[in-house]
Chains A and B, each alone.
Chain A
Amino acid sequence: MKKYERITAIITSLGGVWIMYYAWHTLKLGSIHIPDAGLLPFLCGVGLAVLGIIWLLVLQQTKGEDKGAAEKRIWYRPVISLVLMVLYGWAMESVGYITSTLIFVIAWQKVIEHEKWLKTMIIALLGTFAMYALFVSLLKVPIPPEFFAR
């Protein structure tokens, strides 16, 4: 984990320097009498650059322990679920709410949870129906129309 923390600390510092440049060059700082849109972003950039370095120094001084080793964690499940969510957002506009929601829940149950088909279909149908009933029928939220309804 320390390796990732080091990389993030460096990115934080470099990000801070870039924000300073952007605030100074593009947004303009103005003067102390009439501050412009870049003043607070510039100060934030300075803060990030300095804090990134401090974080890096703290990491150099603390030796070795790796947190979270006690419990086995499966890193690919959040990554896959995030990809599924992005696809769901895209599909919602392309094929409509009901179809995309059904496909999303089926994909989730099969890929993330490795559920059996029967349970998957029951959860997908009930979940989609419940959301539709709550948001569309009860709360009158406008949803993207179905592909075949256009």
Chain B
Amino acid sequence: MDIFTGLINGFSIALTGTNILFCFLGAFIGTAIGVLPGLGPAATIALLLPMTYIIGSPVTAIIMLAGIYYGAMYGGSTTSILLNLPGEAASVVTCIDGYQMARKGRAGAALGIAAIGSFIAGTVAVVGLTFFAPPLAEFALDFGPPEYFALTTLGLLLAVTLSGGSITKGLIILIVGLLLAMVGLDPISGKIRFTFGSIGLQGGFDFVTLAMGVFGLGEILYNLESTLKTEIVTTKLGKLFPTLKDWADSKWAIFRGSVIGFFIGIIPGGGAVISSLASYAVEKKYSKHPEEFGKGAIEGVAGPESANNAASSSSFIPLLTLGIPGNAAIAMIFAALMIQGITPGPFLVVEHPDVFWGVIASMYIGNVMLLVLNLPMVGIWVQMLRVPYGILAPIIVLFTTIGVYSVQNQVFDIYSMLFFAALGYGMRKLDFNPAPLPLAFVLGPMVERSLRQSLLISGGDLTIFVSRPISGTLVAIFVLLVVGQTAFFIKRKMRGKKTAAT
């Protein structure tokens, strides 16, 4: 099936009544959680994972979850601009100039350019996804166990190094994620691992309990510590459509943001957060008036908001073509596909073209829906911020508890989720970034299987990982990354010592 036939088929699937409804639902929920600080897209997708059991159709379920992910990028800018409070991590940088614009009475223009930039970038990235994903999936058909081992380990390492924070802590979380994935029956030898006599653990931990615990409840527990109250919005929005001058100032920022976001989104660990930071840095560096950045430059809103949307769409490329989730939210969508009995990877386009093309086509539709949802309805989203956290938190707890119970109808899953909630809370307290945990958990079985299969194929010869061209290249990148990081670390230490001595 060529790309155009696939896309037409995709539209015929995405444009059915049910799928349009769930696409709208995803975009709506995504915008809502993007607006609300304290609950990111990964947490929300985690909270809604049990719903995918009930929805039944894999295309419909993934269309909704994808809508939540890219919808959150649209909604995230609203609180950043109006309250200087990022609705989610990818909109942190939007606070800098967006809030300054709002203080100068130009909140409407900032919100407008953020929505329009997001729409353009989102659409550009989906076009890229349409043409980039099928050839990559075809290329990946030649991958064997050594290639998959090299790719997954490289992906996990990139996820740790790029997701920010301490690399040591990131690696610890990565290993914890791998170990959690090993709990239960070893699929190759049939041995029981790390169950400590518990029958409930013999089937292993369910991804839904891990995701809902660490990202959903863990986040709530951490937010409960905070004494900060949400500010009541008093900012006047002003005109929502940007002026011709605004458009002239931001068009190249939107274009650059789209390109930066698209390419960073493909890299495992890249995603929306890094792309928005990179876009802001690029805009400031190449601006004719860098001194205006931080004081309300519209490019400082247009670039990052475009970049995070482009990245959220392009991060579907490694998932749909290689079966590698690049960030926590995509790992949730990976799990949702697995729940539906679909293994993401190079065979997806051949075995489940309805899912592959249906989801891609729904992104075009979802982006149009989001533009409509975000521009005229911004006032309604702002009103949502008036709902006190004291009401929202127990409702989310009720939702997660019944949600996780509904997966297998057993209370054991609720206790598992609470264990992960305590783990997630502890991680936040100790300044750990939880993003690598779900990635390691979903990729863990693939890492182990491909390692053991590679060793079995080669008769224990470790050179199998470097003697084949694709895995050899991936191993070389892995080694370069490790050496580069170590050299950077040593250099920084030496400089620190020199500074201390002088």
A and B physically associate: yes
* A105 with B394, Cβ < 8 A, contacts A31-B460, A81-B221, A135-B406 known: yes
User: Are the C-beta atoms of A71 and B227 separated by less than 8 Å?
Assistant: yes
B478 to chain A, nearest CB (A): 15
- Given the complex of chains A and B, what is the CA–CA distance between A15 and B430 in angstroms? 17
Q: Point out the residues of chain A lying under 8 angstroms from B175, CB to CB.
A: 44, 47-48, 51
Are A48 and B172 in contact, CB atoms less than 8 angstroms apart? yes
Interface string of B221-234 (1 = CB under 8 A from A): 11011111000000
Q: Are B455 and A32 in contact (CB under 8 A)?
A: yes
> What's the A-B contact tally at a CB cutoff of 8 Å?
160
Are the CB atoms of A74 and B225 closer together than 8 Å?
yes
B401 touches A141 (CB 8 A): no
CB distance from B209 to the nearest CB of A (A): 12
- Residue on A nearest B389 in the bound complex, by CB: A113
**Interface mask (A33-45 → B, CB under 8 Å = 1, otherwise 0):** 1111101110010
Produce 1/0 per residue, A78-89, CB < 8 A to B.
Answer: 100110011011
Q: Tell me whether B225 and A92 are in contact (CB under 8 A).
A: no
Q: A40 and B448 in contact (CB under 8 A), knowing A55-B172, A78-B222, A135-B406?
A: yes
Chief secondary structure at chain B's binding surface = helix
CB-defined contacts of B43 to chain A, threshold 8 Å: none
B398 within 8 A of A: yes
Output the residue of B194, B222, B447 with the most chain A CB within 10 A.
B194
In contact, A77 and B224 (Cβ under 8 angstroms):
yes
Give every chain A residue within 8 A of B262 (Cβ-Cβ).
Answer: none
Question: Which of the four size classes fits the interface of chain B?
Answer: 35 or more
Q: In chain A between 92 and 150, which residues have their CB closer than 8 angstroms to a CB of chain B? A: 92-93, 97, 101, 104-105, 108-109, 112-113, 115, 123, 127-128, 130-131, 135, 139-144
Flag whether B501 is at the interface (Cβ < 8 A).
no
- Asked if B385 is at the interface of the complex by the 8 Å CB criterion, the answer is no
Asked if residues A19 and B221 are in contact (CB atoms below 8 Å), the reply is no
Kindly report which residue of chain A lies nearest to residue B455, judged by CB atoms.
A35
Q: Which of B61-69, B370-378, B408-416 contacts A (4 or more CB under 8 A)?
A: B408-416
Contact of A105 among B169, B172, B398, B421 (CB under 8 A): B398
- Are the C-beta atoms of B418 and A82 separated by less than 8 Å? yes
How far is it, in angstroms, between the C-alpha of A86 and the C-alpha of B386 when the chains are bound?
30
Known: A74-B225, A78-B225. A37 touches B193 (CB 8 A): yes
Name the contact of B414 in the complex, choosing from A27, A74, A92, A113 (C-beta under 8 A): A92
Nearest-Cβ distance from residue A5 to partner chain B, whole angstroms: 6
Is B422 in contact with chain A by the CB < 8 A criterion?
Answer: yes
For residue A135, which residue of chain B has the nearest CB? Answer: B402
Question: A37 contacts B225, CB within 8 Å?
Answer: no
B165-186 at interface with A (beta carbon < 8 Å): 166, 168-169, 171-172, 175-176, 178-179, 182, 186
B421 touches A82 (CB 8 A): yes
Say whether B452 faces chain A, with CB atoms less than 8 Å apart: yes
Q: Give bound CA distance, A40 to B421, whole Å.
A: 26
Is B199 among interface residues, defined by CB-CB distance under 8 A?
A: no
Q: Which of A27, A41, A108, A131 contacts B402 (CB 8 A)?
A: A131
User: Please, which residues of chain B bring their CB within 8 A of the CB of A22?
Assistant: 194
> Which residues of chain B have C-beta atoms less than 8 A from A12's C-beta?
172
B413: nearest residue on chain A (CB-CB)?
Answer: A89
Q: Does A25 contact B (CB under 8 A)?
A: no
User: What residue of chain A has the Cβ atom nearest to residue B447's Cβ?
Assistant: A40
- Contact call A127/B395, Cβ cutoff below 8 A: yes
Taking the nearest CB of chain A, how far is it from the CB of B149, in angstroms?
Answer: 11
Chain A residues whose C-beta falls within 8 Å of the C-beta of B462 in the assembled complex: 32
Within the complex, what minimum Cβ distance (angstroms) separates A94 from chain B? 10
Q: Are A108 and B394 in contact (CB under 8 A)?
A: yes
- Among B193, B225, B447, the residue within 8 A (CB) of A73 is B225
CA distance A75 to B226 in the complex (A): 9
The 4 residue pairs across chains A and B that have the minimum distance between CB atoms = A32-B460, A33-B460, A78-B221, A89-B414
Known pairs A88-B397, A140-B54; list 17 more (Cβ under 8 Å). A4-B429, A31-B460, A37-B193, A40-B178, A44-B175, A47-B175, A48-B175, A48-B176, A54-B168, A55-B172, A73-B226, A78-B222, A82-B422, A89-B415, A104-B394, A112-B390, A131-B402
Chain A: residues with CB nearer than 8 A to chain B?
Answer: 1, 4-5, 8, 12, 19, 22, 27, 31-37, 39-41, 44, 47-48, 51-52, 54-55, 58, 67, 71-75, 77-78, 81-82, 85-86, 88-90, 92-93, 97, 101, 104-105, 108-109, 112-113, 115, 123, 127-128, 130-131, 135, 139-144
Q: List 24 A-B contacts (CB under 8 A).
A: A1-B429, A4-B429, A32-B460, A32-B462, A34-B460, A37-B188, A37-B191, A41-B179, A71-B227, A73-B226, A77-B224, A77-B225, A78-B222, A78-B425, A85-B421, A88-B397, A89-B415, A90-B411, A92-B405, A92-B414, A123-B391, A131-B398, A131-B402, A135-B403
